[in-house]
Amino acid sequence: MKLLIPLILATTLVAGAPSDSRAAPPTAPDGLVETKAKGFDHVYVRPGTDLQTYGKVIIQPATVAFRNDWLPNMNNTRRDTASRINEGDMQKIAADHAKWLHATWVEVFSAKAIQVVASAEPKTLLLSPKLVDLYVNAPDKQAPGRQVTLTEDAGKVSLVLEARDATTNALVLQIVDRRTAKGAGRPGRTNSVTNSGDFSEVYRTWAALTVAFLKRGPAPPK
């Protein structure tokens, strides 16, 4: 005879970050002008730059910055001290996102016939990605007991990408974009595994759009 013991889970429905679907327009970097590019909120290019001549990239490790209200918002909903997010947790989450971005970008650029190299060579772009205003709706911190967190999406994140000529260090391109890491589009279980998949898909999309823009170049002025 089997003894059936009901498993009681603490389930939390977490509201996402306030809607901010587009990145705020930054000040155009000196010498760059804004141009239209499919899929991005804002793109700035140095006039006269032929992006199609760059066949190699160096991808620097991404820097990661959380949205200012993220930590207090997360801990305000966590009554158990053991489940609260601390500085060490933030550093691990940031390191995970930097790792996911780098892995997906190396994969996508290589697959699209843009060589990823480690040192400056002629016709090489030095890519410096920054993840800013990161808002993870349900950081998966292990705590005593079992808890299920439900969210409609994994969170939001903005990209600020600077691209420089690797031999001259001249800034030739800046991309700014904000996206929501979407799951199933309805409340669903969110944890470290789903966060990895949902945010990695955002980073993969950014890589594909960047490659497409480099190969196509900016639209000619009208």
pLDDT digits (tens, 9 = 90+) for 68-104: 999 999 998 777 777 889 999 999 999 999 999 999 9
For the cut 70, the answer to whether the pLDDT of residue 145 exceeds it is: no
Greater model confidence, 146 or 96 = 96
For a pLDDT cut of 70, what percent of the chain falls above it?
81
Q: Residue 17: which of 130, 141, 136, 97 has the closest Cα?
A: 136
What is the pLDDT, as a whole number, of residue 16? 52
For domain 27-216, give its CATH number from 3.30.390, 3.40.50, 3.10.20, 1.10.3470: 3.40.50
- b/e string for 63-84 if b means 16 or more Cβ within 10 A? ebebbeebbebbeeebeeeebb
Residue extents of the structural domains in the chain = 27-216
Greater model confidence, 141 or 47 = 47
**Cα-based distances in Å from 10 to 131, 196, 199:** 32, 22, 25
Q: What is the DSSP string of 174-204?
A: EEEEEEEEE-SSS-EE--HHHHHHHHHHHHH
Greater model confidence, 38 or 67 = 67
Mean pLDDT of 55-59: 97
For the cut 90, the answer to whether the pLDDT of residue 63 exceeds it is: yes
